[in-house]
Amino acid sequence: MAKFDRTIGTLRFTEATDLSIPTLSILDSEGKLRKDAQAPAIDKETALKIYRDMTYIRVLDERMLAAQRQGRLSFYLTCTGEEAAVVGSIAGFADRDMVMAQYREQAALRYRGFTSEQFMNQMLSNDLDLGKGRQMPVHYGSRELNYMTISSTLATQIPQAAGYAYGQKLSGNDACTVCYFGDGAASEGDFHAGLNMAAVLNCPVVFVVRNNGYAISTPISEQFAGDGIAPRGVGYGIKTIRVDGNDILAVYAASVAARKLAIDGSAPVMIETMSYRLGAHSTSDDPTSYRNAEEEQLWAEKDPISRMRKWLLGKGWWSDQQEHQLKDNYKKEILDALKSQEKRPTPSLNDLISDVYQTPPQHLQQQYAELQQHIDKYPDHYLANPAKANGTYLSASVQLP
Amino acid sequence: MAKFDRTIGTLRFTEATDLSIPTLSILDSEGKLRKDAQAPAIDKETALKIYRDMTYIRVLDERMLAAQRQGRLSFYLTCTGEEAAVVGSIAGFADRDMVMAQYREQAALRYRGFTSEQFMNQMLSNDLDLGKGRQMPVHYGSRELNYMTISSTLATQIPQAAGYAYGQKLSGNDACTVCYFGDGAASEGDFHAGLNMAAVLNCPVVFVVRNNGYAISTPISEQFAGDGIAPRGVGYGIKTIRVDGNDILAVYAASVAARKLAIDGSAPVMIETMSYRLGAHSTSDDPTSYRNAEEEQLWAEKDPISRMRKWLLGKGWWSDQQEHQLKDNYKKEILDALKSQEKRPTPSLNDLISDVYQTPPQHLQQQYAELQQHIDKYPDHYLANPAKANGTYLSASVQLP
Amino acid sequence: MAQINLLQAVNSALDTAMDTDDRVICLGEDIGKFGGVFRATSDLQDKYGKARCFNTPITEQGIVGFSIGLAAQGSVAVAEIQFADYIFPAFDQIVNEAAKFRYRSGDQFNCGGLTIRAPYGGGISGGLYHSQSPEAHFCHTPGLKVVIPSTAYQAKGLLLAAIRDPDPVIFFEPKAIYRAEVGEVPETDYVLPLGVAEVVTQGSDITLVGWGAQMHQLHRASNMAAKDGISCEVIDLRTLLPWDVDTVAQSVGKTGRLIISHEAPRTGGFAGEVSATIQERCFLSLEAPIMRITGMDTPFPLVFEKEYMPDYLKVYEAIKASVNF
Amino acid sequence: MAQINLLQAVNSALDTAMDTDDRVICLGEDIGKFGGVFRATSDLQDKYGKARCFNTPITEQGIVGFSIGLAAQGSVAVAEIQFADYIFPAFDQIVNEAAKFRYRSGDQFNCGGLTIRAPYGGGISGGLYHSQSPEAHFCHTPGLKVVIPSTAYQAKGLLLAAIRDPDPVIFFEPKAIYRAEVGEVPETDYVLPLGVAEVVTQGSDITLVGWGAQMHQLHRASNMAAKDGISCEVIDLRTLLPWDVDTVAQSVGKTGRLIISHEAPRTGGFAGEVSATIQERCFLSLEAPIMRITGMDTPFPLVFEKEYMPDYLKVYEAIKASVNF
Ligand SMILES: Cc1ncc(C[n+]2csc(CCOP(=O)(O)OP(=O)(O)O)c2C)c(N)n1
Ligand SMILES: Cc1ncc(C[n+]2csc(CCOP(=O)(O)OP(=O)(O)O)c2C)c(N)n1
Ligand SMILES: [Mg+2]
Ligand SMILES: [Mg+2]
């Protein structure tokens, strides 16, 4: 706690430059260890799992973008460019840790074991969707994998994550919460509420801020005036680190250390991953109107996946042949899953009213009965494969979410 | 704007202690200039006006506390202990600057020229209350004095102040906004919204955070875990200074400098005044259950008014005789005003429905007509000197606001 | 059984809830050592420790967000909002998050362990920001339950039911009668059912529906009317969402007349919902228009609070008007 | 006069407002260079400069708070909330601040220069968080005005009126018909009155009341009913707060029947208010219960959006039920 006991007789304002937070960087752009860097302990198995999942998500994102263009799903949103920030961080946590993410962290869900079929079921709102067809594509959730269902409303998960972590601490189950959000979401009031509460109530939660330069069209220069998000963590009394988000080893090292600090110290930790959203915000967006190709090119050259590949190749843990095979397998796996899962039926009509409450109250049951009667009068008009309808319904310039 | 270009190869978390913000202190506890201090330029007239207004508010607060106990008004809330933080800051601004305060800054309103009668009119909800008897005591406002009407909802004025200042800048009228709030209010989401917007949109607003140790019963140790509020300002990229809030010269010097920075640089500035709420939170509160007498005593010895008096006496600008006379005059002025203004009638019944909209819409006129008919049926039951009723209505353990 | 007041009944319910279930956690502004500005959480921190009963920073959106997370994790979170007037910063967390948490996840996750308590209502010279009755805002939100007690006995039984209910509940407490309302309350553990109205007085000529502090105005008006030979059936809704349509419809089927009364402004208030629904259900039984006696369509005033309030005299006049229609 | 769509009409209104009054400022998430995610603010930054049309950080409570301050200072603030679903973080600033600003200050200060625009409603496969119709929450708030256009012509005239109105206005835009709804819209400056409903179709058997995108369902149902020989009077409320009771009451006095329809969930929706009020005003004229055809009491669904929505078939069935009552 603050003591406020240092006094000074001369008037001087403290400025952002008085707190310079450096960026942790371990792998250079060629995938070599920096000379002054301490590489984290990472075994081959973990490294390859990380690499495979990053690659998987890159392939999934490309396939689903194409599928969206074909009208096979209504909406999609890629993680492209930020794979190391997401996979590198989640790899530092245990499976029992709860993940509360924003929406661009499908790579973390994959790392936990989400299957291609499960991704498809959600995006296609079919009868096997764990979310019962209620949310737009990419709003995943899995109780089994400790991955909280995504909400479109930005930043709401931040104070929730603090509370979840507090509950974990009380339960004494040696687990923490990892909470992801973007540079834009960090402007919401809920960010402030969540970080301050986490700090003063000693909640074991690790906040991973994905600073990717943009919030839809808004560059970070119009989102904040300070030195990124990291100094805010310091202001709340939270141990904070900034990392090169395209450097898998830096992200991983910071995450492993952060988890330990959070659990051993019963305290929040913040990691700011500096990266770039290489793709559009979503399939409803076209970034050419608000940023230039050079900037994109600059960042494309820093691609986190190829940087990690170079490192793996250097260590002799990976080969070009394995690379080709892996990608081909993923392409096939994903396409097969898309084809099979899009044939599945929609959830049952009753899922329109179930789960509003644990048990549907009388008025809702009555509304449902009336609906059924009505549908019986116009059987052709309703229940007509709505999953298909989704594909064409959205206007191309509607930004969702 | 941030460049994020400093990298580092070793893992290290940045902590609150990495940014140490000192407290500006100019007058020592004996009212003498600190050796290393640069005193601000302040003429005798300004100094005496500041002193008189601090003294006035101390007297007003004492009188109104007593009046509340006598049942002459329903509620009251003192500025005691923080007079230097409030008067010292407002003295650094121009009369055309807008003040957007929390509720404990009556001293700033006095500095602008609010009369004893005006204070009474508001607290007694009489026909001359500028607020037309609609708000609880201490919710002052004066268009003439550029003092925005107080709202009970904490922190809402913070983003509003940013917007107000933006408007001032566009109007090009060489004015800024000064926005007061407490350590507790700084936890609200609106704080975050307001400060970040002010910074990134270059609004000439000076935020004065009154850190007085408590928010009702909650000590700052349960309000935040960082080094007070000041580092948050730095995080937003706002020039920030912490001052001894009981040191009139430190507060004044910082405020004069802050106003200049805000207007010349079209940018927000933050001042954190370190002080103590010497009294109860309000007349509905009893602090003995949550803090101890020693702590109160410690702070009572740092009383900002007597510290300033010592300085004035040292400079030969003030005498004990002047002191007695001033206090006697204020006591009389205040008591006379209370007596005369409590005899005044209440506002007109029509003020129940006016100002909801600029022009009362039809449904409201109709509700009013029905009310009038109803009152005509029970003339003795309604309109029975409600100002008097206020005095007895409140339960002593209801915290308002 | 002891005679205690409504505030003590709330405290007793919290005590019982914490005592019978380790997972119950109370949090809010000033609710720790201080016991809350109204003292509803008195002694709980001493009894159950700082980990289970604690002060939060002043951030209603944070309090509710944090409590949702707690509940999702498996705790039972009882959050206090210091005044119902200050619940609005938490509106998004309540309406977009708590209310939709189970639905959007396909029942994989829920925050049913969440209860939000807030003192509400006028009658204490609180003016705009210490007097509001915001229940209608929440009643338009599927996924929430909204409960308001009017007696000490109800307060304990309904609050325990709310805390243990599998859905998120907003529990508004009528602060104007926190102390004035005194009754027999068992020291033991008991619950009253949610979603069920209470017919407090049987009658045959007209039905009066209300909740919370307003019940006392209805009783007083009903007594006045009785002297005129008018028999009022008085119904306390107790739960507003989901509300007990059957009980009200049955009563209006019998009396043919209905007055609904609440302190909140008329337009968009919950009386409109009750009126519209009963009109649909009892159209052919109605002998006079359903009437609403409510606060006026203004912010909550200070000096003219008495004139603004839907008091027993206004209800009494409405009873006569309805019966003479 | 050009044929333009509703979205272009909104853009044209903003352009006209900024052109005719220097004090008009547009702000919101992504509304600057990008022109907003729906392009409602296209070209405005180029035309009027970054000082008068700018991106804000992502903080709805900040956007509204900032805009209140701007308006209090003398600017005319037109804030965009990217989706009506995201207006809830700003609820406190809207309900406790904007709505009460003039009243609490005794008319010393006001924020009448504030207009909040937000695209609302379903029909775009948006699911829970890109489909909501939150108008009823605001209609229960004295001090606000709530306006919803249903055509391109209305959109321009009502938005200009809202921006110039001396009170804070919430302006919800029916995004499902942003492009589909095309009509003749003058390029010149014009306003349509707030608080006045429009009788869009005259009829004698039954009155249909709605607003926004729902008007199209009403028209379609009305056409179907016409083939059955039922003559519908269709009324577009346009302003919900304060709403035009007289026009609706007059119509129902004539037809004796009323259906109100909205997309928002039934319970606590604004149809309840209209029903309750008209029942009070037209009790003796009513020949059938007033009916409400609305969204269901669930969060807004995705796959079953079509089933959830109060479409023309549901309205048509209700018309028949009412007439055959
Ligand atoms: C409360 C709220 N406001 C606005 C939006 C609309 N919206 C969706 S994504 C987005 C940008 C978020 O940017 P950032 O947090 O940086 O994440 P990124 O997309 O860059 O990963 C916005 C404004 C929303 N979903 N929720
Ligand atoms: C939104 C909101 N939440 C809660 C309250 C109740 N309340 C009134 S004053 C107060 C404490 C504020 O403390 P601080 O900001 O430190 O100011 P101080 O009283 O110390 O000057 C609280 C919690 C309120 N008025 N508004
Ligand atoms: Mg971003
Ligand atoms: Mg304080």
Ligand 3 midpoint to CA A222 (Å): 12
How does residue A397 score in pLDDT terms, banded at 50, 70 and 90? very low
Q: What is the pLDDT of residues A25-57, one digit of tens each?
A: 999 989 999 999 989 999 999 999 999 999 999
Residue B177's H or E segment, with its range, is: strand B177-182
Predicted confidence (pLDDT) at residue D169 exceeds the cutoff of 70: yes
Q: Which residue of A has its CA nearest to D37?
A: A399
Q: The tokens of A23 are what?
A: 């960026």
CB-nearest partner of D92 from C91, C269, C288? C91
Q: What is the largest CA-CA distance in chain A?
A: 83
For residue D17, the distance in angstroms to the closest alpha carbon of chain B comes to 17
Contact present, D52 and D195 (Cβ < 8 Å): no
Contact C302 B136 (CB under 8 A): yes
Distance from C-alpha of A79 to C-alpha of A366, rounded to nearest angstrom: 43
Give pLDDT tens digits for D52-95: 999 999 999 999 999 999 999 999 999 999 999 999 999 999 99
d(CA B47, CA B39): 13
Collapsing DSSP to helix, strand or coil, A99 comes out as: strand
| C142 in A contact zone (CB under 8 Å) | yes
Euclidean distance between CA atoms C204 and C229, whole angstroms:
11
Report CA torsion sign: D242, D248, D253, D258: negative
Residue tagged active-site, from C29, C80, C130, C219:
C130
Distance between CA atoms of residues C184 and C2, nearest Å: 5
Distance separating alpha carbons of residues B209 and B201, to the nearest angstrom: 20
Write the pLDDT tens digit of every residue in A215-273: 999 999 999 999 999 999 999 999 999 999 999 999 999 999 999 999 999 999 999 99
Q: Best of A136, A140, A157, A376 to disrupt the D interface by mutation (most D CBs within 10 Å)? A: A136
- Residue segments in chain B with a per-residue pLDDT below the cut of 70: 1-3, 385-401
Inter-chain residue contact B35 with A4, CB threshold 8 Å: no
Looking at residue A142, what is its pLDDT? 98
**Per-position DSSP letters for A231-293, written without gaps between them:** HHHHHTT-EEEEEETT-HHHHHHHHHHHHHHHHHHT--EEEEEE----S-SSTT--GGGTS-H
pLDDT of residue B2: 56
Q: In whole numbers, what is the pLDDT of chain A averaged over residues?
A: 94
In the prediction, which pLDDT does A4 show? 78
> A17-341 belongs to which CATH class?
alpha beta
d(CA A4, CA A124): 56
CB D269 within 8 A of CB D262: yes
Give the atom of ligand 1 at the shortest distance from the alpha carbon of A401.
8
Beta strands C239-241 and C145-147, pairing class: antiparallel
- Residues of chain A with pLDDT > 70, as a percent, come to 95
Q: Decide if A127 contacts C29 (C-beta within 8 A).
A: no
Q: Is D130 a catalytic residue?
A: yes
Closest residue of chain C to D302, computed from CA coordinates: C104
Instruction: Give per-residue pLDDT as tens, B49-79.
Output: 999 999 999 999 999 999 999 999 999 999 9
Residues with Cβ within 8 Å of residue B109, at least 6 apart in sequence: B99, B101, B140, B142, B145, B147
Please pick, among C60, C80, C97, C173, the residue that the annotation labels catalytic. C60
Query: Which sequence spans correspond to the domains of chain A?
Result: 17-341, 349-388
Provide the pLDDT for residue A383: 87
**How much distance in Å is there from the Cα of A185 to the middle of ligand 1?**
6
Q: Which residues of chain C have pLDDT under 70?
A: none
CA of C30 to the centre of ligand 4 (A): 13
Omega prior to A22 cis, within 30 of 0: no
Report phi then psi at B36, rounded to 5: -85, 5
Are A150 and C108 in contact, with CB atoms under 8 Å apart? no
pLDDT of amino acid A5: 81
Query: Three-state secondary structure along chain C?
Result: CEEEEHHHHHHHHHHHHHHHCCCEEEEECCCCCCCCCCCCCCCHHHHHCCCCEEECCCCHHHHHHHHHHHHHHCCEEEEECCCHHHCHHHHHHHHHHHHHHHHHCCCCCCCCCEEEEEEECCCCCCHHHCCCCCHHHHHCCCCCEEECCCCHHHHHHHHHHHHHCCCCEEEEEEHHHCCCCEEEECCCCCCCCCCCCEEEECCCCEEEEECCCHHHHHHHHHHHHHHCCCCEEEEECCEEECCCHHHHHHHHHHHCCEEEEEEEECCCCHHHHHHHHHHHHCHHHCCCCCEEEEECCCCCCCCCHHHHCCCHHHHHHHHHHHHCC
CB contact under 8 A, A190 and B189: yes
The residue type found at D26 is C
C49 contact partners, CB below 8 Å, separation of at least 6: none
Q: What is the ipTM of this complex?
A: 0.98
Q: Which of C85, C138, A187 is nearest to D99 (CA)?
A: C85
Class of domain D198-323: alpha beta
Sketch the domain layout of chain D as residue ranges. Answer: 2-185, 198-323
How far is CA C88 from each of CA C134, C318, D129, rounded to the nearest angstrom?
A: 9, 32, 19
Instruction: State whether residue C316 sits within 8 Å of chain B by CB.
Output: no
**Residue A11: closest CA among B205, B198, B239:** B239
C-alpha distance from B357 to closest chain D C-alpha (Å): 6
For residue range B338-396, list pLDDT tens digits in order: 999 999 999 999 999 999 999 999 999 999 999 999 999 999 999 875 544 444 334 43
Beta strands in A80-152 (DSSP E): 98-100
B 212-271 → A contacts, CB under 8 A: 220-228, 230-242, 244, 253-254, 257, 261, 269
Measured between beta carbons, the chain C residues lying within 8 angstroms of B134 are 127-128, 299, 301-303
CA-wise closest residue to C38 among C6, C76, C61:
C6
| Edge-to-edge order in the sheet of strand C169-174 | C53-55, C24-28, C76-80, C114-120, C169-174, C145-147, C239-241
Query: Would the pLDDT of A386 be above 90?
Result: no
**What is the second-level CATH architecture of the domain C2-185?**
3-Layer(aba) Sandwich (3.40)
Query: Rounded distance, CA B276 to CA B270, Å?
Result: 19
Q: At what angle do helices A44-69 and A248-265 cross, to 10 degrees?
A: 110
Is beta strand C53-55 parallel, antiparallel or unpaired with respect to C24-28?
A: parallel
Alpha-carbon distance of D97 to A295, in angstroms, equals 42
Ligand 1 centroid to residue D160 C-alpha, Å: 29
Strand C182-185 to strand C2-5: parallel, antiparallel, or no bridges (unpaired)?
Answer: antiparallel
Nearest to C142 among D100, D290, D297 (CB): D297
What size, in residues, is chain B?
A: 401
Write the DSSP symbol of residue B364.
H
Strands (E), B231-320: 239-244, 269-274
The 8-class DSSP code of residue A345 comes to: P
Chain C's closest residue to B182, CA to CA, is C58
d(C-alpha D17, C-alpha D11), whole Å: 10
Distance in angstroms (rounded) separating the CA atoms of residues C209 and C234: 6
Q: How many CB atoms lie within 10 A of CB A364?
A: 23
* Contact by Cβ (8 Å): C323, C257: yes
β-strand A177-182 against A98-100: which pairing, if any? parallel
Q: Give the C-alpha separation, B202 to A224, whole Å.
A: 11
DSSP E strands in chain D: the ranges are: 2-5, 24-28, 53-55, 76-80, 114-120, 145-147, 169-174, 182-185, 198-201, 206-210, 232-236, 239-241, 258-265, 291-295
* pLDDT of amino acid B3: 66
Nearest CA to ligand 1 atom 20: A215
Is the pLDDT reported for residue A398 higher than 90?
A: no
Which residues are paired to D171 by β-bridges?
D117, D147
Residues in chain D: 325
What's the confidence (pLDDT) of residue B173?
81
User: Count H helices, E strands: chain A?
Assistant: 13, 9
pLDDT for D12: 98
Do the beta carbons of residue A82 and residue A245 sit within 8 Å? yes
Distance between CA atoms of residues A201 and A401, nearest Å? 32
How many angstroms separate the CA atoms of B127 and B109, rounded?
Answer: 20
Q: Do A170 and C51 touch (CB under 8 A)?
A: yes
Q: Are strands B239-244 and C2-5 parallel, antiparallel or unpaired?
A: unpaired
Residues of chain A neighbouring D60 (CB-CB closer than 8 A): 188
Q: Whose CA is nearest to atom 11 of ligand 1?
A: A215
Kindly state the tokens that stand for C75.
């705790």
**Interchain pair D296, A217: CB under 8 A:** no
